[in-house]
């Protein structure tokens, strides 16, 4: 009798080894190796969704392919279209990862129910038919082209697919699936890898888009193997703070579009509402201007967004001053404080500094620097900044204010939202014609100059 083929896999990153290891040489985590059976003996016919006789020609002419490319499906969910790079690509395999409870099942149930013309199969390994029906009732949508299957065995799923011939498949979640060709438990590296590979072959051969819902671990990485990310065409990360109602769908990888895109939703009683104009939500209404608040004209992907930044600068009680950030990089804050200290002579070394980006958003755009500097100075001096001013610029180490990309788009958005003044880098001058905008554009070259203009 032949022995089963086994191997050890790091459950964190998917690294494969012939023997057990204490520490993973690839990702460095400890005690993550688990022995898994790779292949079952007497492997039967795989991919039984295939038509019985598919001929034996495997090659295709390139010209033939390009003739039928790029017919994306534009869904009613504009945010989903945006993060996918302009709609669903037939035959694409999309992984949507997020923490439990963030709203992944809600989003894909809702989006599938908004496509009455598309025959959809929603495969759930986590919830019962009744639970899904209840959720659909809560969202208040239904159509007769939407089919449910509560099943975890891939071969049974393919049999049902063969009968139904769906045009769209949603798998909730990839961690619950198991294929009979691999012996280890659902959720293990070899199971996830093999199930994904089966679904990938199905998606490509039948040109059916497949959405895989995946859980992420406490550390924030996609549970199970990193290799999953390499196998799929698109990776979307669904994130948000449980304490806020906003949810963000971020493109992490996309073979069919840009990776800088962001979709924003609001979690309501009856499902997720796409937010078309995030700036309106991210700026709070105030009766009178308060110190320590400044608005940044940022860009997430190609989308301009105005975000409120808040700071609180107070005298430090203890020896070491505290720096606390929410939604911003701590080291970046320390750097900006050092610039203010050195170039402007402000004594932040004696102060505690708390910094907050509104709505629990995490912003990576360097153009937010100018608003951060302003909000820090505003709280330091306890002088409010007029609430109809906004800022877009990167701050350099010598206190210079640098130009940022797509400045025209940022200014136009600020003008559209009724701001009166926008502060930008003087080095943006070449890129713009201030007369063109219905907002006053103030150009500054250095931090000191900004200070003189405002305080
Ligand atoms: P769910 O889609 O089950 O999350 P996931 O699949 O990512 O684990 O959504 C979970 C949360 O969303 C749950 O706490 C309830 C909330 N929710 C609403 O607030 N409104 C709704 O209409 C629905 C369906 C869910
Ligand atoms: Mg779910």
> Along the 455 residues of the chain, how does pLDDT read in single tens digits?
456 678 888 887 788 899 999 998 888 888 888 888 766 655 555 666 666 555 567 787 777 766 555 688 999 999 999 999 999 999 999 999 988 888 999 999 999 999 999 999 999 999 999 999 999 999 998 888 999 999 999 999 999 999 999 999 999 989 999 999 888 888 888 888 899 999 999 999 999 999 999 988 666 566 555 678 889 999 998 887 767 778 889 888 999 888 878 888 988 999 999 988 777 666 766 667 889 999 999 987 777 888 999 999 999 988 789 999 988 999 999 999 999 999 989 999 999 999 998 876 778 889 999 999 999 999 999 999 998 899 999 999 999 999 998 898 899 888 888 889 999 999 988 877 766 788 899 999 999 999 999 98
The reply to whether 62 falls in a domain is no
**Do residues 218 and 80 both lie within one domain?**
yes
Return the SS3 of 445: coil
- Copy the structure tokens of residue 159: 């049999």
Q: Are residues 95 and 24 in the same domain?
A: no
User: For ligand 1, atom 14, which residue shows the shortest CA distance?
Assistant: 101
Question: Is residue 179 domain-shared with residue 265, that is, in the same domain?
Answer: yes
Both 268 and 329 in one domain: the answer is: no
The CB of 135 under 6 Å from ligand 1? The reply is yes
Is 44 contained in some domain? Answer: no
Torsion sign across C-alpha atoms 356, 357, 358, 361: negative
Residue 11 lies in a domain: yes
Instruction: Write down which residue in 276, 305, 324 finishes a domain.
Output: 276
Q: From 211, 244, 276, give the residue that closes a domain.
A: 276
Considering every ligand atom, which ligand is closest to the CA of 104?
Answer: 1
- The ligand whose atoms approach the alpha carbon of 237 most closely is 1
46 belongs to a structural domain: no
253 located within any domain = yes
Question: What pLDDT was estimated at residue 67?
Answer: 56
User: Do 114 and 263 sit in the same domain of this protein?
Assistant: yes
Distance (Å, whole) CA 455 – CA 451: 6
Residue 258: partners with Cβ closer than 8 Å, 6 or more residues away = 85, 251, 301, 302
Shared domain check, 241 and 286: no
Residue 128 lies in a domain: yes
pTM over 0.80: no
CATH number at residue 381: 3.30.230.10
At residue 146, φ and ψ (nearest 5 deg) are -105, 120
**Which ligand places an atom closest to the C-alpha of 96?**
1
Residue 386's CB is within 10 A of a number of other CB atoms, namely 10
Residues 269 and 331 placed together within one structural domain of the fold? no
Q: Is the CB of 12 under 6 A from ligand 1?
A: no
- C-beta of residue 389 within 8 angstroms of C-beta of residue 418: no
User: Dihedral angle at the C-alpha atoms of 294, 342, 425, 292, nearest 10 degrees?
Assistant: 0
pLDDT at 186: 85
Burial of 236 (0-12, 13-18, 19+ CB in 10 A): buried
Do residues 93 and 161 share a domain?
A: yes
Distance CA 354, CA 357 (A): 10
The alpha carbon of 243 and the centre of ligand 1 are apart by a number of angstroms equal to 13
- Our answer on whether the CB atom of 240 is closer than 6 Å to any ligand 1 atom is no
Q: What CATH number is associated with residue 199?
A: 3.40.50.300
Asked if the structure places residue 53 within a domain, the reply is: no
> Based on the domain organization, do 309 and 266 belong to the same domain?
no
Report the residue among 96, 98, 100, 101 best suited for mutation to probe ligand 1: largest number of ligand atoms under 8 A from its CB: 101
214 in contact with ligand 1, CB cutoff 6 A: no
Number of domains in the chain: 3
Residues whose CB is less than 8 angstroms from the CB of residue 63 and which lie 6 or more positions away in sequence, other chains included: none
Are residues 116 and 170 located together in one domain of the fold?
Answer: yes
The span from the CA of 267 to the CA of 354, in Å, is 28
Classify 22 in phi/psi space as left (phi over 0), alpha (psi -120 to 50) or beta. alpha
Domain extent, residue 353, equals: 281-454
Dihedral, CA of residue 257, residue 260, residue 265 and residue 267, to nearest 10: 110
**Residue 233 shares a structural domain with residue 326:** no
Encoded tokens for 89:
């690509």
Atom 10 in ligand 1: residue holding the nearest Cα: 101
List beta partners, residue 293. Answer: 310
pLDDT at 341: 94
ipTM of the complex: 0.97
* Domain assignment of residue 57, yes or no: no
The residue among 437, 370, 440 whose CA lies nearest residue 409 is 437
The ligand 1 atom at the shortest distance from the C-alpha of residue 271 is 22
- Bridge partners, 9 (sequence order): 16, 34
CA of 106 to the centre of ligand 1 (A): 6
Q: Is 436 exposed, middle or buried (0-12, 13-18, 19+ CB in 10 A)?
A: exposed
Six token digits for residue 274: 């796409």
Q: What are the φ/ψ torsions at residue 200 (nearest 5 degrees)?
A: -65, -45
Q: What is the DSSP secondary-structure string of 296-341?
A: EEEEETTEEEEEEEEEEEEE-SSSSPPEEEESS-HHHHHHHHHHHH
Boundary (domain end) residue, out of 219, 250, 276: 276
- 213: CA distance to ligand 1 center in Å? 14
pLDDT recorded at residue 66: 62
| 98 shares its domain with 168 | yes
């Amino acid at each position: 009798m032949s022995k089963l083929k086994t191997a050890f896999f790091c459950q964190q990153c998917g690294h494969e080894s012939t023997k057990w290891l204490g520490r993973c040489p690839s990702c460095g985590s400890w005690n993550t190796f688990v022995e898994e059976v790779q292949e079952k003996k007497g492997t039967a016919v795989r991919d039984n969704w295939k038509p019985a006789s598919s001929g034996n020609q495997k090659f295709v002419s390139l010209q033939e392919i390009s003739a039928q490319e790029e017919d994306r499906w534009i869904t009613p969910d504009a945010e989903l279209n945006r993060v996918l790079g302009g709609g669903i690509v037939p035959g694409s395999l999309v992984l949507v990862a997020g923490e439990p409870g963030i709203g992944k099942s809600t989003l894909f149930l809702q989006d599938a129910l908004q496509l009455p013309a598309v025959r959809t199969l929603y495969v759930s390994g986590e919830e019962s038919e009744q639970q899904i029906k209840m959720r659909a009732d809560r969202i208040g949508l239904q159509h007769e082209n939407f089919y449910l299957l509560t099943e975890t065995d891939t071969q049974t799923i393919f049999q049902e697919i063969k009968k139904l011939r769906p045009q769209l498949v949603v798998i909730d979640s990839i961690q619950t699936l198991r294929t009979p060709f691999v012996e280890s438990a659902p959720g293990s590296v070899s199971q996830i890898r093999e199930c994904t590979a089966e679904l990938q072959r199905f998606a490509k051969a039948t040109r059916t888009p497949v959405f895989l819902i995946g859980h992420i671990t406490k550390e924030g990485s996609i549970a199970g193997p990193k290799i999953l990310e390499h196998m799929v065409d698109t990776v979307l990360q669904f994130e948000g703070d449980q304490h806020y109602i906003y949810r963000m769908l971020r493109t992490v990888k996309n073979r069919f579009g840009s990776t800088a895109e962001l979709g924003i939703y609001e979690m309501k009683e009856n499902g997720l509402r796409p937010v078309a104009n995030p700036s309106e939500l991210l700026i709070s209404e105030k009766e009178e201007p308060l110190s320590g608040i400044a608005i940044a004209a940022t860009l997430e992907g190609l989308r301009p967004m105005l975000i409120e930044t808040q700071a609180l600068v107070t005298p430090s009680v203890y020896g070491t001053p505290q720096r606390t950030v929410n939604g911003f990089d701590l080291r970046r804050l320390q750097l900006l404080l050092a610039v203010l200290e050195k170039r402007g002579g402000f004594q932040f070394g004696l102060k505690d500094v708390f910094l907050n980006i509104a709505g629990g958003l995490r912003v990576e755009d360097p153009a937010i620097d100018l608003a951060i500097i302003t909000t820090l100075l505003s709280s330091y001096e306890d002088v409010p900044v007029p609430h109809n001013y906004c800022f877009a610029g990167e701050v350099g180490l010598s206190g210079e204010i640098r130009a940022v990309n797509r400045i025209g788009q940022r200014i136009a958005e600020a003008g559209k939202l009724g701001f009166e003044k926008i502060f930008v880098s003087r080095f943006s001058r070449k890129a713009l014609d201030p007369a063109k905008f219905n907002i006053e554009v103030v150009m500054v070259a250095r931090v000191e100059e900004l200070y003189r203009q405002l305080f």
